[in-house]
Amino acid sequence: MKELESILGSENVKYNEPMSKHTTFKVGGIADIFITVDSKEKLLKTLEMLKNEKITIVGNGSNLLVTDKGIRGIVLKYTANTCEINDTIVKVDSGMTNARLANTLLNKKLTGYEFAAGIPGTIGGAIVMNAGAYGREMKDVVLETEFLDFETNEIKVFKNEESNFEYRKSIFENKKGIILSATFKFEHGNKNEIDEKMKEYAQKRKDSQPLDMPSAGSTFKRGNGFITAKLIDEAGLKGYSIGGAEVSTKHAGFIVNKGNATEKDIIDLIKYVQKEIYQKFGERIEPEIKIIGE
């Protein structure tokens, strides 16, 4: 892999890298090779070199549970983060974080992305997940997404309506490839109002979410006609733990890592919560987090 190091720099090619360092849950076994790629030019060269390798794409690892056995092959994190602004149309590399984009837009007095400022991932991860908060989702602001398909080796632009955005789902979930960039449409706004809204949302998160403990956000999806976290709370599961994994005492929808959780602890706890909710309320709840690895 010397060639990889010559494209990316040796500091960006890590062997036997613990995925616990690259996930907000701080859980996960070893990735055989973990590479960080910071530009489209380097990405294209890297992919050309890795044509026959198994590649797993990660963003900020904020919606991921990586197995204790880890990930074979290459894990690629794309960190390109340039942003082009033409009036209200904004094109952004997928490696930019939501927080950085929200702050850039604040300075340009553009409104529409305040809802995503506190979602601790990248633009790529937010599009794949159709991430959302406070009544808005990526599908409300994305015009189109530039995607490099690993199967055809072609770059295709998916319009919003071709992206099959649904609640925490998109067409990109089941495609082999990488989102390169996304183009958004925002509106001109008032800087103080944008700032106030971002502060209000940040405060709401601080008040209701266990931001001081490792997690991957809401562990389960919203229920069909019920609020999942409310059922978990009513089932008396807040604070219930298996090994190092615990149903947050602050927000029943979050499973947190108390410090030494393994993937197995978290999976066992997810299964336990699912079983209890089914037995007590007859409802099936489904994880929102993505489980990856061997």
Ligand X SMILES: Cc1cc2nc3c(=O)[nH]c(=O)nc-3n(C[C@H](O)[C@H](O)[C@H](O)COP(=O)(O)OP(=O)(O)OC[C@H]3O[C@@H](n4cnc5c(N)ncnc54)[C@H](O)[C@@H]3O)c2cc1C
Which residue numbers are catalytic? 168, 218, 288
Distance, CA of 269 to CA of 71 (rounded, Å): 22
The residue ranges of DSSP E strands in the chain, in sequence order, are: 13-18, 30-37, 55-58, 64-66, 71-78, 83-86, 89-93, 110-111, 132-133, 136-137, 142-149, 155-159, 177-185, 187-188, 215-218, 241-242, 245-247, 254-257, 290-292
Using the contact rule CB under 6 A, the part of the chain among 127-135, 151-159, 191-199, 279-287 near ligand X is 127-135
Between residue 56 and residue 85, which ones bind ligand X under the rule CB under 6 A?
57-64, 78
Q: Confirm or reject binding of residue 293 to ligand X (CB under 6 A).
A: no
- In terms of Cβ atoms closer than 10 Å to its own Cβ (0-12, 13-18, 19+), residue 219 is buried
Using the contact rule CB under 6 A, the part of the chain among 1-9, 55-63, 155-163, 275-283 near ligand X is 55-63
Q: Confirm or reject binding of residue 124 to ligand X (CB under 6 A).
A: yes
- Nearer Cβ to ligand X (30/251): 251
Query: Shortest Cβ distance from residue 45 to ligand X (Å)?
Result: 17
Between residue 271 and residue 290, which ones bind ligand X under the rule CB under 6 A?
290
Distance, CA of 69 to CA of 67 (rounded, Å): 5
- Nearer Cβ to ligand X (61/112): 61
Q: Confirm or reject binding of residue 136 to ligand X (CB under 6 A).
A: no
68 with 19: CB under 8 angstroms?
no
Return the number of other C-beta atoms located less than 10 Å from residue 206's C-beta: 11
Mapped onto helix, strand or coil, the DSSP state of residue 290 is strand
Query: Shortest Cβ distance from residue 6 to ligand X (Å)?
Result: 24
Query: Shortest Cβ distance from residue 280 to ligand X (Å)?
Result: 26
Query: Shortest Cβ distance from residue 142 to ligand X (Å)?
Result: 13
- Please report, as ranges, the residues that interact with ligand X according to CB under 6 A: 24, 57-64, 78, 94, 119-122, 124-126, 128-129, 131-133, 172, 178-179, 209, 211, 215-217, 290
